[in-house]
Amino acid sequence: MEEIENNGIVSLIIDGKICTAKEGEYILNVARANSIFIPAICYLTRCSPTLACRICLVEADGKRVYACNAKVKDGMNVVVSNEEILEERKAIMQVYDVNHPLQCGVCDQSGSCELQNYTLEIGVDEQPYRIADVQRESSNWSSVLHYDPALCIVCERCVTVCKDMIGDSALTTGPRGGEGLDKELKDTMPKDAYSMWNKLQKSVIAPSNETDQTNCSDCGECIAVCPVGALVSRDFVYTANSWELTKVPATCAHCSSGCQIYYETKPTSIANRYEKIYRVTNEWNYVSLCGAGRFGYDFENRTASKDANALKDAVVAIKKADAIRFNSVITNEEALMLQTLKEKLGVKLINNDAKAFKDFMTYFANAKGSTLSNGNIRTMMQESDFIISVGSALRNDNPNVRYLFNNIQKLNKGAGLYFHPIGDKVIENLGKNVACIENKINSEEAVLYWILDNFADKEKLPAEVKDYLASLSTTTKKTISETVMEDVVETVVDEATGESKEVTKKVPKKVDKEIEVNKSKLLEIFGAPSDFADTIEKFLAKKENFSLVVGEDLYFHPRSKNLAILVALIESTTPFNIAIIPPKTNSLGVSLICDLDDECSGYVIGYNEVGDFRLSALGDGDLDMPAMNQQEGTLTNMHKRVVPTNAALSYNGYILNDILNELGMGERLTIDWTKELPVKEGFEAREFDSLPNGYNNDGSENRGYGLKSQKVKATESLPKEISSNEMSADVMAYRCNPQRQFNEFTATAHQIFEPFALYASEEKASELGSRVAIDLDGTEFVLDVKIDDRMSGDIVKLPDFKHSFEIYKFFGQNRFKSISIRKA
């Protein structure tokens, strides 16, 4: 790793403009942040340079460098274009145009094609080069990917993004079988163009598993980054042109990432002029989507109509209701409306995911003295080089945190620890400095104590905690003798790191013996592998910026209160930046806005949930509600930002605000509620229309506004001791949705295929058979068993995305449950 000075800011001149930048940044990124145009095809802002296109050639202090991988130096003078460079670029574009099909008319990318753009921008008006073409057949790589190698310019952006951002590394370059270049060209044509062509002529893109099908999470990010029409979604191919589609900026409402997306709409057909979403696109330089975000877009409530009788019934039902049950796939405005109903009518609010999260956040705030954690996932992605994830099935719960986890490995040369009872083969392979620790079920307290023990500034730790940690070290002294030596080395390192600079010095051997045992006890509790200490030592070498992400397992935990206090303690005593991932889309917003109640009996209104009277955006309720792509509003995402979303499709029915208007408590429009969001919880009193939804050139988010952390009285800041919550059964079930499946809306989308089934690792699945009956506290479900070949271990995953199964009810305050299974 390069030496980085603290706050090393350099200034340089690019294309005559004085720019300041952080030392170590690439010239291209600095230019982009300062709105200076340097042509570049293969480079992606948040990924490592590929050096495939070589078109970003610039002259830095008289030397020819590639802007995408040359780092800035103080006082550097970068010339973006001179005659020589232009000639080189022109030759490169001429080479790219060799044998590229001229049927732009039928290409899906036409109109937004970078090859078209650069060909025109650089002014290719003749074609001096030629080579025999090879037959390249188009093929389908997966249920969503369609690849046409004839159009491919092998910029390798798809390969890069899949490796550096997504982490699947499902794509690679394969042999093209093209003719070799004429050797004479080497002397006659510009150097970079020649070498680019030489490489281009040898390769195409192919799945990396040497089959013709990719084994990936079907996120479609490769489609997004493809500059030409080579990679297109199977559903979209040849159905629309980019210029016909209306881009509606919105926020993805499937998980708590709240990614910025564009719904691209066009009338359904000539006969049916109702708008339809044709695809979802994103600002792929600044945000990456998951498969649910990209392909799960057609969940709108199509059949809704203004049924006045149903509205009347709804009003009657709400007046007599004891409770409203809802989930967190709603906007802040809707949450505020429900809270208003509660305040005015005294109806109870039941929300399973948000309730647990709210409790956790309340404990956290009471321990910390203020709401919200300090960590920011976007900054972590740029700066962090050591990440620990606790209590979250990253691949399923929040793909964007998984991208963060991966990006830290790939770009920041970092290391990562993934604590989860269920092993994950994808996470495991994200980098060589990644360890998946299959901790024991409900042993997260021990993990957090271990973090405290190893990273906390001992002086800041409360005496009680210090004593407790010490007691743990003493009590289990006898355990392992062989590992003692290694352990010692490690813990000493930890001691030294208490302040800020941790990992640089070697530790005298003397200290070893004392603390060796402390480790082993905690390690034993959460079930660390035997070489854990070695691994940690290796991982921590030269690491400076620590991140901790905690997930849903901690909120649905018998000891969630203690966990919350521990997380708060870690934040205040260790160098970790902490991100707390809300379990569902808007759990954070709902938990801030609504006073939630426990389950109760009586007459219940279900909003997208079970109930005696059902409001539903799925078209199956007593009164229709708009789906997320049919309504305006704001969402509070895991970046602690309140971001706006817009209606991409028309909606013909009644909305929640109409019900409130019938009751005399409504506003004129739903978005009039935006400025009413509670300021004392950290919201701002801002009009919806004033909320931006985009990114700045330097990649910073210009979306909505950030929540403000609020001071509260610190009441309970001391963690309790670890208590054993071991669970054992022949089959343990984990409440977890399959990847690309988050809620009933993704389940409605026609390009999301993952069914509601029992997911198990290959071995477990073969043991269970293809269909099983599950007994959940006396209720029996018969479910298919699906293989999730990226899982390992014996625990099975039971999804919760279908409300009618009421999975939350059975699992209660725990994500794990022992179940009994028999073959069906």
Partner 1 sequence: MAHIEEHKDTQAIQREKQNYIMLDLGKTPQFGIPAFIQVVKRSLSRELLKGLGVTFREMINALFKGKLHTTQYPFEKLPIAPRYRAIHEMLRLLESGHYRCIGCGLCEKICISNCIAMETRYDENQRKEVSEYTINFGRCIFCGYCAEVCPELAIVHGGRYENASEQRAGFSLFEDMLTPIDKLKEQNEFAGFGSISPNADENIKKTPLAY
DSSP-assigned letter for residue 126: -
Report the nearest approach of partner 1 to the CB of residue 100 (Å): 12
- Residue with smaller CB distance to partner 1, 18 or 271: 271
Residue in 3, 83, 125, 730 binding partner 1, rule: CB under 8 A: 125
Does residue 112 touch partner 1 according to CB under 8 A? no
The residue among 150 and 166 lying less far from partner 1, judged by its C-beta, is 150
Whose Cβ is closer to partner 1: residue 271's or residue 308's?
271
Closest CA to 612 of 812, 313, 340: 313
**Contact status, residue 459 vs residue 498, Cβ threshold 8 Å:** yes
Q: Which of 112, 195, 239, 339 binds partner 1 (CB under 8 A)?
A: 239
Which residues between 241 and 270 bind partner 1 (CB under 8 A)? 241, 243-244, 267, 269-270
Q: Per CB under 8 A, does 110 bind partner 1?
A: yes
- Candidate residues 129, 603, 705, 781; the one interacting with partner 1 per rule CB under 8 A: 129
Is residue 336 within 8 Å of 636, Cβ to Cβ? no
Q: Where are the alpha helices (DSSP H) in 677-813?
A: 744-748, 762-768, 807-811
C-alpha closest to that of 274 among 679, 650, 740, 806: 650
Q: Which two tokens stand for residue 228?
A: 């030409």
Find the length of the chain: 824
If the CB atoms of residues 242 and 281 are measured against partner 1, the closer one turns out to be: 242
* Cα diameter, the chain: 87
How far apart, in whole angstroms, are the C-alpha atoms of residue 681 and residue 592? Answer: 6
Nearer to partner 1, 104 or 315 (CB): 104
Instruction: Indicate the SS3 state at residue 782.
Output: strand
| Min separation Cβ 243 and partner 1, Å | 5
Which tokens go with 580?
A: 């707390």
- For the bound state, the minimum distance from the C-beta of residue 264 to partner 1, rounded and expressed in Å, comes to 14
Helix (H) or strand (E) holding 224: helix 221-225
CB of 124 to partner 1, least distance (A): 11
> What residues from 209 to 238 belong to the interface with partner 1 (CB under 8 A)?
237-238
Compute the least distance from the CB of residue 199 to partner 1, in Å.
20
Among the listed residues 8, 101, 123, 128, the single contact to partner 1 using CB under 8 A = 128
Residue 3 or residue 137: which is nearer to partner 1 going by CB?
Answer: 137
198: helix, coil or strand?
A: helix
What CA–CA distance (Å, rounded) separates 294 from 819?
34
Q: Measured from the CB of residue 106, what is the shortest distance to partner 1 in angstroms?
A: 4
| Spatial contact of 623 and 304, defined as CB atoms under 8 Å apart | no
Quick note: the x/- pattern for partner 1 over 271-290, rule CB under 8 A, is x-------------------
Q: Toward partner 1, which CB reaches closer, 182 or 531?
A: 182
- CA of 680: how far to CAs of 367, 394, 684, in Å? 19, 32, 9
Identify how many contiguous H helices and E strands the chain contains and give both numbers: 27, 36
* Options 131, 185, 663, 768; binder of partner 1; rule CB under 8 A: 131
- To partner 1, the closest distance from the beta carbon of 241 in angstroms equals 4
Q: Measuring CA to CA, which residue among 42, 218, 213, 228 is closest to residue 150?
A: 228
Question: Of 135 and 481, which CB lies nearer to partner 1 in the complex structure?
Answer: 135
Q: Which parts of 574-669 fold into alpha helices (H)?
A: 587-593, 656-662
Please report how close the Cβ of residue 102 comes to partner 1 at its closest, in angstroms: 9
Q: Which residue of 20, 103, 474, 504 would you call a contact of partner 1, by CB under 8 A? A: 103
Number of residues that bind partner 1 (CB under 8 A): 25
What is the arrangement of strands in the sheet containing 260-267, beginning at the earlier edge strand?
A: 246-251, 260-267, 275-281
Least Å from the CB of residue 237 to partner 1: 5
Give the integer Cα–Cα distance in Å for 17 and 13.
Answer: 5
Q: Which of 126, 187, 689, 730 binds partner 1 (CB under 8 A)?
A: 126
In contact, 705 and 644? CB cutoff 8 Å: no
CA 212 to each of CA 147, 228, 434, 470, 809: distance values in angstroms, whole numbers, following the listed order: 11, 21, 29, 56, 43
Q: Which is nearer to partner 1, 129 or 603 (CB)?
A: 129
CB of 136 to partner 1, least distance (A): 12
Among the listed residues 51, 79, 86, 104, the single contact to partner 1 using CB under 8 A:
104
Does residue 184 touch partner 1 according to CB under 8 A? no
**What span, in angstroms and rounded, lies between the C-alpha atoms of 688 and 691?**
6
Residues that bind partner 1 (CB under 8 A): 103-106, 110, 125-132, 138, 237-241, 243-244, 267, 269-271
